[in-house]
Amino acid sequence: MYLTSEKKVEIFAQYGKDAKNTGSAESQIALFTFRINHLTEHLKANRKDFGTERALTALVGKRRRLLDYLKATNIERYRAIIKDLGIRK
């Protein structure tokens, strides 16, 4: 499996305040970004996998909504997470 529980803990520890802070916007955005990158690589090899394509589109939308929320509430945190993850605006 591409996303093990150890990898999740690592992502939450790096982008959240600690490993148990799984609900913060930054940690969720980082997790979604990891999943988006994985699905993008999968679709490069399997271009006719339309179910995965739909899931990827939904995941990008979820991340976009979280980024919009973060931008509205705290612009500095938004800028920091965009820079750390290398997300295009």
Helix, strand or coil, per DSSP, at residue 86: coil
Domain residue limits at 61 = 5-14+22-85
**Structural domain count of the chain:** 1
Question: How much is the pLDDT for 1?
Answer: 73
Task: Note the pTM of the prediction, 2 decimals.
Answer: 0.92
Dihedral, 46, 51, 53, 57 alpha carbons, nearest 10: -160
CATH number of the domain to which 52 belongs: 1.10.287.10
pLDDT band at 2 (very low <50, low <70, confident <90, very high): confident
